[in-house]
Structure 1
């Protein structure tokens, strides 16, 4: 077999595809209707959902890079060549001149208290105030905004095939901006390009450009000056990180006062959030604090989902020479595909804060939830949610009112989940997910096309929109063209159906894993339920008995050969396994307004809906659906009790489920299990690596050593490179810290990490490893 690279512009017929060119990806039953994503939470903000505005009558999507003569007020030969400049000049620009903003910030109560906190250094701190002046005087000028927008449109047209904007909630944004409450756009931090795409999309639709809080360090003075004239709020120049910037009390006070003044002026604000510790969440905490104290009446939060066919590489620092080199490299290399921007329905932050529907009263440390189960082998766990106080910087954790901190974390988690939920699934995400989790050893092109069609239908049925369209052959060809550097395509001259497999390298595995995250998020219920089923199957296979399992014991003959799918599982045990796994999930997968037990029940029900589980029919004297009591009389409840229902007539009996073979897609159960394998495997490997890290180390050095050991494990196995990425290591170590396996100690030199004395014992480490690995159906030590 010879290796043939995938060429983006190579004709489809040369691939030997025997696919009808008129085969559509969108299922016929949906027709012209597409899922509408980004609605408000019905539990936390029912008033915002009830008062939702009429959807855009135009509907559909708008490619902001496709500017033609019809988008201007003029006609003619010259207009067709200058339509982009004419379009930009006709867009409405909301300027925001700076008057006495600096004086108002300096005279604010917070800044004065920060200055008075250290009297011996008060003069030195007052001398630092002028250094914040360029940051405070960030403004939006009309002329420079139009020029930068024109430049961005030209640049992006050379880099991306299209930048599609979903118009479903555009009218809602226009009306919300006219009602008086400032808009706050919240998006997931992926690349430095995110900061430019949202203002550009809003400018092209005559909406107010937000002040963008940019976490990227820009070193060049000229570039900083230009960005600060178009509303980009930059951190202080230098090598400071966002977390280090927050540690300074004066910097924190100045930024809180600046946000307050911007919202008082009616300006829109754009912030990035991240699931990593202390990155972005403090801005939402500031806005919530301002609303709680009455400094700001209300704001309308707008989650924004930005989906890339290929995520541009992120850079922590940007200089002018680096920008020029990056632009040249992008312009002279292959296309980065398309971008999809989904603006969700705005909702009131004050309503979410005052209603108290976003529950925070049952949050517990992760070690209180899971350590008794891990060490004592308990089947039942404490009810509650995992507390993630590390989403805020460290100084927020020392607040005198911890319930305020919990409320801010709940909002951060809700916005991370909402921004992730309204992201569309791109074609590269579907292909990457199939290659990583369904066909890691390679797949024929015809089989891949069949699975792409199946997975697209499943996503649409789950109300998850996709960022592509067209015939199946062209969609698959386009996705493979963009993923070509990370794939191997093997084809023999006599074979018309080539074999496609992921390239066995860390960079390729990490890229495919990054693209597949939206698919994992869409199937998270099924993935949790499938991993719970896998854990119970491992127990059955390890016990050496048949699969007829009840809650009171095990009966049956010895298992001979491979374990078959004729398995009966107890609902209570299955729900408990799913609940335990829910506590291990990183932020963004579960809505914080839903209890963990409810999520676990939904995970089990989702397997019934997709055909993996069916309820076992148990012979009984009275059918389970009979509403009459066994003695034949009907029990009525008093109308004064709102919690009493007809189901109180009889105590609910535990149900059982059987496993069936999925009919639509072979090995569906194992595909769903594999969706969470990247995170769970990195957690298993990190647990195994603790044996060599028993002495305290600085946090940065500890992470480097664990990362190296995980990379060594992946190289030895020659697979699963996606489980040893830097992000996977950070997430795994954060979970181990929350579990109490790793202890944090704050010293002058920094944060030290050490293994808890309880887990110096190899027996306890083995129990921890066994608890996590039970959810990996194909894990081998």
Structure 2
């Protein structure tokens, strides 16, 4: 279960890229048929006409009418008659009678009516007829702005086999766009698989579109479940939990976004375990015998929803309205968004995963409690909302959620726009020629192919890059033709060459949008960047020492480097999931170090001990309480040191890797600096975020911060979570507003400065002195 999942992805699979749309209709048909019949990918927007006259004239209507019919039973009465819900209604009615002055009968009637109203506002009314009508509309409308929507045929077959098991399918996609759930439902319906019920925020319950989404399988959940901070809305939570569990019992498939909302940065968000905890509860209390969890990753050459720049600059999110939805749809239909790729990971059994993590928990129990088997209590569910949560259950659900997000992120298809944005921001920030970009693109492409990463492009590199530049547009990337004069045969004659100079738009706010596309690539290089950044932090004094450079003798101990890398992973714990829960992060760091040795960036040297030292260590070992294996591992680590290569080629590679995390390090450093301004006072989260944004703006203007994408709200909020985890910050909620202040032990400037120093240690950069 915890091994690398088989993803049914051929390393040689590519999507044919067609730049623009040919005017010749027959040529369009030929090109699209070739796309659809490609052996490693299927464009699901294309339908081959049938043999009958009707299917030739009304191709899509004929195709849609052939879909398998499913019933989607309503379970309203079953939920309202649920014994657990009745108990909660009674308890809530008693509280209402005691607190609001109602009689018992009035309170009971009012509470029962509210429970019914919650359910009616929440429940899906999935319609097979409406699903088919919308499928026809998708066939007609999506090709207006989407070049192709591709999935592997083997993955479709995998879904069909999973559907044939009769177990509920729990679809767990990463969330990038509102188009995500539309595409997944479209793919399920067109392949005769039961459409899932989809958890949606009630902000989408707008006129007409709310009705439409409900008919397509959406059930609506309040964005803020508890209207009053500190008081759990037990009735709402119970209705929601009962609805999900009874839907599973009735045979419905389920779909929800384990991240909660759409990513604003291009990186996966940390998982939220609320609905997943209910799914686990449904298995553990016997409501369902098992379920198949299916992680899903989708990617777009260009994000259909526009961008999230306003929000990342600190402006409030605009609420969805009927008018804004119509405007967004019209704007989308007029755009060109390239390719969409859907990647289904291998389904895995919920039962097997629970059993695996239970066994793992029993082998490595919580330090604060004796070893004991995981037990089940209905009150464990975070949705159900009691205050008592068994720690083992919380860890179980969190581990499954993190496993899903990790697998999905590693399966995310790489688009040409991701690679181009990544190179421009991290390697060619000051600009480059097209030839240089092609050369670097080829190197990245070979690395991705070697590591069997799903890349959604094919053809000549120069054509792929031009296509990506066209999709990104002049607002994100500037292209200029420049004439360069070179001497020929000394100073006797000259020739002029015209080159295309390419430069990222690295000013605000454009650079934030460009970084969204770049961050998808960052997931595949994050551990490399972690180790290099840790190496820089550890070797600052040596790299700045001319003697050490002259003697070509810059070294670092393995355990020192590993500890530095682990510390940086801890700082960025809310930005990335570095490994599966069943893996040891230290092992991943050591594997990354081994990779650098293979590339020649560092070389391993064994520490040489004198005979007296060896005798002393052997003698001391006899009195050591640790096991021989642990002792030997510790000694082996301590004896290994690495020597840094000072060649220009390796220094350039390291600087490239180091640059990737610099925007985040700068953000966290500025956030830590603002802790000192919090001494002796408290601020609401919004005001503190604004202070950090102002600090970053000041540093950008002063040249202290070099990356405009550091000006980003999400990492700032994540840094606050980190400081809370470190017990530096305290959070108190007052009238649904988060109030932040320093804990008593840290409410001193000198102590908060130590927190700043811990983060700022990783800010150092520049290998120029080495070259």
TM-score, with length taken from structure 2: 0.78
Q: Does 1:418 align with 2:382?
A: no
Instruction: Map 1:590-605 to 2 at 5 A.
Output: 590-605=579-594
Residue 79 of structure 2 corresponds to which residue in structure 1?
105
Residue 488 of structure 1 corresponds to which residue in structure 2?
478
Q: 1:583 aligned to 563, 570, 573, which one?
A: 570
Residues 437-462 of structure 1, C-alpha deviation per residue, up to 9 Å, x if partnerless? 11222122111111111011112222
Ranges in structure 2 where 5+ consecutive residues have no aligned partner:
1-8, 15-36, 97-106, 262-268, 309-316, 369-380, 485-496, 612-616, 619-626
Q: Does 1:271 align with 2:259?
A: no
SS in 2 for 1:523: helix
1:750–1:653 CA distance, 2 compared to 1 (3 A): closer
1:487–1:296 CA distance, 2 compared to 1 (3 A): same
Worse-matched range after superposition: 688-697 or 508-517 = 688-697
Q: 2:88 aligned to 95, 101, 114, which one?
A: 114
Residue 540 of structure 1 corresponds to which residue in structure 2?
542
Distance in 2 of aligned mates of 1:217 and 1:208: 26
Structure with the largest fraction of helix: 2
Instruction: Map 1:350-389 to 2 at 5 A.
Output: 350-356=351-357, 359=360
Distance in 2 of aligned mates of 1:75 and 1:243: 57
Q: 2:714 aligned to 727, 744, 749, which one?
A: 727
Distance in 2 of aligned mates of 1:499 and 1:364: 57
Residue 625 of structure 1 corresponds to which residue in structure 2?
none
Q: Does 1:63 align with 2:36?
A: no
Q: Does 1:88 align with 2:64?
A: yes
Residue 763 of structure 1 corresponds to which residue in structure 2?
750
The answer (yes or no) to whether the contact 1:68–1:80 under 8 Å persists in 2 is: no
Q: Does 1:568 align with 2:555?
A: yes
Worse-matched range after superposition: 678-687 or 289-298 = 289-298
1:283–1:302 CA distance, 2 compared to 1 (3 A): same
Distance in 2 of aligned mates of 1:673 and 1:565: 21
How far is the alpha carbon of 1:79 from its aligned partner?
Answer: 4.3
Q: 1:399 aligned to 388, 392, 395, which one?
A: 388
Worse-matched range after superposition: 426-435 or 587-596 = 587-596
Residue 659 of structure 1 corresponds to which residue in structure 2?
644
SS in 1 for 2:670: helix
Residue 606 of structure 1 corresponds to which residue in structure 2?
595
The answer (yes or no) to whether the contact 1:424–1:464 under 8 Å persists in 2 is: yes
Distance in 2 of aligned mates of 1:609 and 1:777: 26
Residues 489-545 of structure 1, C-alpha deviation per residue, up to 9 Å, x if partnerless? 233355522222221333322222211222111122212211121112214246x47
Q: CA RMSD in A?
A: 3.6
The answer (yes or no) to whether the contact 2:241–2:383 under 8 Å persists in 1 is: no
The answer (yes or no) to whether the contact 1:243–1:278 under 8 Å persists in 2 is: no
1:474–1:97 CA distance, 2 compared to 1 (3 A): same
Higher RCO, Cα 8 Å, sep 6+: 1
Q: Does 1:286 align with 2:275?
A: no
Instruction: Map 1:439-518 to 2 at 5 A.
Output: 439-484=428-473, 485-493=475-483, 496-518=498-520
Worse-matched range after superposition: 506-515 or 243-252 = 243-252
The answer (yes or no) to whether the contact 1:396–1:405 under 8 Å persists in 2 is: no
Residues 96-131 of structure 1, C-alpha deviation per residue, up to 9 Å, x if partnerless? 132xx1121122243223323331324332221232
The answer (yes or no) to whether the contact 2:682–2:741 under 8 Å persists in 1 is: yes
Q: 1:736 aligned to 699, 723, 742, which one?
A: 723
Q: 2:213 aligned to 219, 224, 227, which one?
A: 227
The answer (yes or no) to whether the contact 2:131–2:189 under 8 Å persists in 1 is: no
How far is the alpha carbon of 1:621 from its aligned partner?
Answer: 11
The answer (yes or no) to whether the contact 1:214–1:234 under 8 Å persists in 2 is: yes
Q: 2:663 aligned to 658, 678, 689, which one?
A: 678
Distance in 2 of aligned mates of 1:211 and 1:651: 54
Residue 147 of structure 2 corresponds to which residue in structure 1?
161
1:685–1:525 CA distance, 2 compared to 1 (3 A): same
SS in 2 for 1:267: coil
How far is the alpha carbon of 1:677 from its aligned partner?
Answer: 2.0
How far is the alpha carbon of 1:668 from its aligned partner?
Answer: 1.2
Residue 737 of structure 2 corresponds to which residue in structure 1?
750
Residue 430 of structure 1 corresponds to which residue in structure 2?
419
The answer (yes or no) to whether the contact 2:604–2:640 under 8 Å persists in 1 is: yes
SS in 1 for 2:208: helix
Distance in 2 of aligned mates of 1:708 and 1:337: 37
The answer (yes or no) to whether the contact 1:530–1:607 under 8 Å persists in 2 is: no
Distance in 2 of aligned mates of 1:653 and 1:734: 33
1:169–1:32 CA distance, 2 compared to 1 (3 A): closer
1:508–1:130 CA distance, 2 compared to 1 (3 A): same
SS in 2 for 1:492: strand
The answer (yes or no) to whether the contact 2:429–2:506 under 8 Å persists in 1 is: no
SS in 2 for 1:67: coil
1:696–1:617 CA distance, 2 compared to 1 (3 A): closer
How far is the alpha carbon of 1:598 from its aligned partner?
Answer: 2.1
1:481–1:754 CA distance, 2 compared to 1 (3 A): same
How far is the alpha carbon of 1:221 from its aligned partner?
Answer: 3.5
SS in 1 for 2:595: helix
How far is the alpha carbon of 1:421 from its aligned partner?
Answer: 1.3
Instruction: Map 1:128-147 to 2 at 5 A.
Output: 128-135=114-121, 137-147=123-133
